[in-house]
Amino acid sequence: MDISSLIEIVKDGGGAADTVFKALKTAKEVFKKPQPLTKADIVPVENGLLEAMDQILQLKQMQLELIDALIALKQQQLSLDEERIRIKQFEADAKNYVLKEVSPHSRAYVPTAAVASGESPQYLCVSCFEQKQRSLLQFKERDFHFDTLQCPQCSGTIRVPNDVRMEVRTVRVPNKFDGFI
Residues 117 and 148 in one domain: yes
Residue 143 and residue 101 in one domain: yes
Q: Of 152, 155, 157, which is closest to residue 106 (Cα–Cα)?
A: 157
Per-residue pLDDT tens over the stretch 140-174: 888 777 888 889 888 888 888 877 677 778 887 77
Q: Does residue 111 share a domain with residue 69?
A: no
For the chain, helix (H) and strand (E) counts, in that order, are 4, 5
Q: What is the pLDDT of residues 6-44, one digit of tens each?
A: 666 666 666 666 676 777 777 666 666 666 767 776 777
Q: What mean pLDDT comes out for the span 114-122?
A: 69
SS3 162: coil
pLDDT(116) > 70 = no
3-state class (DSSP) for residue 175: coil
My answer on whether 105 and 145 are in the same domain is yes
**Res. 118: pLDDT tops 70:** no
**Within a domain: residue 66?**
yes
pLDDT at 4: 66
Question: Residue 168 is which amino acid?
Answer: V
DSSP letters along 37-95, please? P-HHHHHHHHHHHHHHHHHHHHHHHHHHHHHHHHHHHHHHHHHHHHHHHHHHHHHHHHT
User: Who's near 96: CB < 8 A, 6+ residues apart?
Assistant: 111, 112, 113
Burial class for 50, CB neighbours closer than 10 Å (0-12, 13-18, 19+): exposed
Q: Is position 45 within any domain? A: yes
* pLDDT reported for residue 85: 93
Higher pLDDT, 27 or 108: 108
Is residue 100 domain-shared with residue 148, that is, in the same domain? yes
DSSP class of 34: S
Neighbours of 26 (CB within 10 A): 17
Supply the Cα-derived Rg of the chain in whole angstroms. 39
Tell me the per-residue pLDDT of 57-103, one tens digit each, with 9 for 90 and over: 888 888 888 888 888 888 999 999 999 999 899 888 888 888 888 88
| Whether residues 25 and 67 fall in one domain | yes
Write down the pLDDT at residue 114: 65
Residue 1: pLDDT over 60: no
Same domain, 65 and 122: no
Structural domain contains residue 88: no
Domain holding 40, by residue range, is: 3-79
